[in-house]
A = this chain, B = another copy of it.
């Protein structure tokens, strides 16, 4: 394929993508296929000779689309949102065309520099303390990572290196392996599994800190476990606070936790993967108060700020901590591996929406989640399971876990909308996450009426059944 054919095919693909997104509400949000559906549909091995674009193109609808979960459908209310917008798609096309690899300044000056400046823009939008910004010659700064998991891992590793050095300088008789064996990381019992995985990768212990009845970690809970662990000879070194937990979007109390971490020489990392985007709205910024105590902070514009995957924004107060841990180039805050020109997406989206446009997007989602909350509250069969702060509503039928599992099953089998569940304490709970860029009040109303009807149908058969407990 030469440039001339690319011009033709590229424009066809632009139309295909525009059609797909414009009419996505006509597609069934969750596919009908069973595991293993795809292999029998395509040959066993790559063709020897080139196939035409037409042949490949027609297989998109025939082979791929039947197996796609449509994340951008306005009937998709599962997980958390995956951001998508037209300006970001345009930026990605440019990024692919330039096709540079930004592993050092010389390898691509524009790529490295735009990233640093865009993370300053973004940091200012959420009113991050100046220490986290690169500015012209600050010690802090931001970098784009692939995911919040990656940011958590990197901060845990930086904390590990820093702590080992400190403990070793205070106790020269201890070997690195002995210190490693005594290090403990902490996170809420509501934290994402990636924190546990980061500790597993870093070869250190991890302990849960108990959250309270609002699924929030407060200072006293952290202090309790720290005191116990220090008394038994362990070395607490890392705490991952969560703002907007995955199950129910609860918020750890930074203002209590931060001073404890600072006093105890514990690296505080804040994982605000989903919720962080909301901090661009002044009315939600208070949720971030206490960030001044943190060593690192992360949120995902690719979740809720209309920047397509992947774009996870991570800031540190001291770039030198990362450089110490990874032997990175000192001049710029570097990734631990090669990357594409991902900052172009941020640049396009921030400029073409403007701060006000992005605020509108956040506020619409929050408004729609409260709309759903009110609908649930009007139905006495249901209960709300956690405070609705941003775009997520946790709800369930008053009744057993089995009943709620049956309800979710009937929702997802009908495939008119798509939800995923979570557990809050031992309760099986349905999560209604406002996700799509194009979701409106009518979709939320439809979703509720549908859920409500399925609940009615379910409860009728359920009462005649011996499932009830």
Contact = CB atoms under 8 A, between A and B. Distances in A.
Nearest to A88: B96
A120 B44 CA distance: 8
A374 interface: no
Contact of A35 (B56, B105, B149): B105
B354 A50 contact: yes
A327 B329 CA distance: 33
Contacts of A105: 35
Nearest to A63: B110
A154 to B, nearest CB: 9
A108 B125 CA distance: 33
Interface stretch (A334-342, A384-392, A447-455): A334-342
- Residue of A99, A177, A331, A356 ringed by the most chain B CB atoms within 10 A: A99
A105 to B, nearest CB: 6
Interface stretch (A193-201, A253-261, A363-371): A193-201
A276 to B, nearest CB: 15
Identify the 4 closest CB pairs spanning chains A and B, nearest first: A177-B181, A67-B110, A17-B97, A10-B14
Given A99-B309, A203-B203, 4 more contacts: A6-B90, A17-B97, A45-B121, A72-B99
Interface residues on A, range: 35 or more
Interface in A92-146: 92-94, 96-101, 105-111, 113-114, 116-117, 120-122, 124-125, 136, 146
A4 B21 CA distance: 11
B16 A107 contact: no
Contact of A82 (B3, B50, B100): B100
A96 B308 contact: yes
Nearest to A125: B46
A9 B14 CA distance: 9
Contacts of A445: none
19 contacts: A13-B90, A14-B93, A17-B96, A36-B113, A36-B136, A51-B352, A53-B87, A63-B110, A64-B98, A64-B114, A68-B110, A82-B100, A92-B93, A99-B309, A146-B337, A157-B201, A177-B178, A194-B337, A310-B339
Contact of A101 (B5, B33, B82, B180): B82
B107 A69 contact: yes
Interface stretch (A219-227, A288-296, A343-351, A394-402): A343-351
Contact of A90 (B10, B46, B84): B10
A202 B176 CA distance: 13
Interface string A40-55: 0010111111111101
Nearest to A109: B67
Contacts of A44: 120, 124
A100 B48 contact: no
A15 interface: yes
A124 B1 contact: no
Contacts of A157: 201
Interface string A195-238: 01100111110000000000000000000000000000000000
Interface string A66-88: 11111110000001001011111
Contacts of A353: 50
B22 A18 contact: no
Nearest to A325: B200
A69 B108 contact: yes
A440 interface: no
Contact of A149 (B82, B108, B337): B337
A29 to B, nearest CB: 12
Contacts of A193: 327
A60 B351 CA distance: 13
A112 B179 CA distance: 40
